[in-house]
Structure 1
């Protein structure tokens, strides 16, 4: 059975893919991939059965390709697909390891800013004494605040950047504001990362399939910039993580060293405007036909979506 792609459906028309993924649907079809649709709103609401109502039984295996979902909802998706005789090419345990910082941090510790974290439910930020104890290993310097998946970097001064961790009052204020803005979308809990100064515009997103970099794009926040990062130290870490389809966001530090600022599950990572996904979908279709491989087979083919 061929490789399938489970795209999010259009909220305004359940029979068609979300327009955001239109170019990717074309590429998936050009490489021979099958297409099925999932209702993202129903999945988030906890009704995975309804979310998969349009997925044919005993079809797949599938790469999910769509909007972010919490780890627990992805696990629901995997179970509901199995009940329909289908399967996901990225198991739920691997989705969690790539999607949330605590899952990938130890593997990338030498390549990424030092970080500490603790689980916390939405609306319950740690107290000032708890924050002081949590961040003590980072020292007194600057830091950034995020949850297990995302930051609020567009509210940099109020909900992301802490000029000095020694200022526990300021740290606590930033964390409280971050929790207030995240509301129920808080993923996992709190992460505090040591601040490192990066070159403006020096950020790239690298797409990896079975341990190989198959596409390098701009970061979605800076689509006009396309650096060429050094991947020599990143490749062993990606392979050690062992997840089949991941992204790494790399940024050039002011001292000229490339650093990993985020790792993500490729199924829910965004492509920047104007990026050509042909090479990515060619690699995914080949990888899907191999099943769950050991991550060492190269995927060098290309397909045109033109």
Structure 2
């Protein structure tokens, strides 16, 4: 059974989508306003592959099994979803392309972090940060780390995740017009990959001062993201990349394309490209 608010669509007779409005402008997209969509009265007897755009489920494994029992097979298995979203699973594939990272099943003490990584560190959960809060992400020393761990224990997004400590790399800044406890805006871009083909890219920080890539920067950034997508090798992957002050490009993180916000990426252009690729693939 579909959950409340969910909708099953076949878009342009090429792609099955399970959608739900989340109320988040950078995530939601009204497919039936831009593409021909039909809603089946009866599902096909054979299992069908489905892309979810229904927000981030905290129970992906359970939801996958519920839908599979109804003949709806999400495009990422639970194992693939984990590889897309959790740093301990994608990091070993991209270790030479991304900042050095260590993770802990239980919150570590400051001495352990200093010994394993050194100060400062970039602190995050295995899946995500908490609303881009600087005080919970950029940690300068032991006292700040202990305060952050106390906050992590109470944070609804972070308390259940493994703790990840990353080498803090000097990123090229865009501007510093964010709030006092907001992460600095870096020269960062989000890329979407459908079956390892690029289907969309744009600035990660879509609000504030606009920024974009020169042709050479675009080549280098997308080449790095494409190599990451090739190694992680999933049907619908997001790779975020940023430029260091030295000019080097690095992978910031990976995510499941089913759960990721569009930020500065055009959703219409993204899905039109996906539909074109599906038409080529299936004939």
Q: Does 1:98 align with 2:71?
A: no
More displaced 10-residue stretch of structure 1: 221-230 or 184-193: 221-230
Work out which of the residue numbers 119, 125, 129 in structure 2 matches 1:141: 119
Residues 289 and 77 (structure 1), Cα distance of their counterparts in 2 relative to 1, 3 Å cut:
farther
Alignment of 1:126-137 (within 5 A): 126=108, 128=109, 131-133=110-112, 136-137=115-116
Q: Does 1:64 align with 2:64?
A: no
User: TM-score with structure 1 length normalisation?
Assistant: 0.71
**How far apart in 2 are the matches of 1:19 and 1:221?**
12
**How far apart in 2 are the matches of 1:153 and 1:21?**
15
**How far apart in 1 are the matches of 2:244 and 2:277?**
33
Work out which of the residue numbers 68, 75, 78 in structure 1 matches 2:61: 75
**How far apart in 1 are the matches of 2:43 and 2:111?**
52
**How far apart in 1 are the matches of 2:124 and 2:139?**
11
Instruction: Give the SS at the match of 2:84.
Output: helix
Q: Does 1:23 align with 2:8?
A: no
- 1:239 is aligned to 230
Work out which of the residue numbers 250, 262, 283 in structure 2 matches 1:271: 262
Alignment of 1:1-306 (within 5 A): 2-9=14-21, 23-26=29-32, 30=35, 32=36, 56=43, 58=45, 60-70=48-58, 73-120=59-106, 125-126=107-108, 128=109, 131-133=110-112, 136-138=115-117, 140-152=118-130, 154-157=132-135, 159-164=136-141, 168-180=142-154, 182-183=155-156, 186-201=159-174, 202-220=187-205, 222=207, 225-228=210-213, 229=218, 230=220, 231-272=222-263, 275-286=265-276
User: TM-score with structure 2 length normalisation?
Assistant: 0.76
**How far apart in 2 are the matches of 1:33 and 1:135?**
54
What's the CA shift string for 1:107-135, capped at 9, x where partnerless?
11111111110224xxxx34x2xx53355
Gapped regions of structure 1 (runs ≥ 5): 12-17, 37-53, 291-296, 300-306
More helix by share: 1
More displaced 10-residue stretch of structure 1: 231-240 or 246-255: 231-240
CA contact (8 A) 2:126 2:161 kept: yes
**How far apart in 1 are the matches of 2:196 and 2:124?**
27
How far 1:90 moved relative to its partner? 1.7
**How far apart in 2 are the matches of 1:155 and 1:22?**
23
Gapped regions of structure 2 (runs ≥ 5): 1-12, 175-186
**How far apart in 2 are the matches of 1:113 and 1:149?**
15
Residues 232 and 155 (structure 1), Cα distance of their counterparts in 2 relative to 1, 3 Å cut:
closer
Residues 200 and 66 (structure 1), Cα distance of their counterparts in 2 relative to 1, 3 Å cut:
farther
**How far apart in 2 are the matches of 1:199 and 1:55?**
52
**How far apart in 1 are the matches of 2:42 and 2:241?**
36
Aligned length: 251
CA contact (8 A) 2:203 2:212 kept: yes
**How far apart in 2 are the matches of 1:188 and 1:243?**
23
CA contact (8 A) 1:107 1:240 kept: yes
**How far apart in 1 are the matches of 2:42 and 2:150?**
41
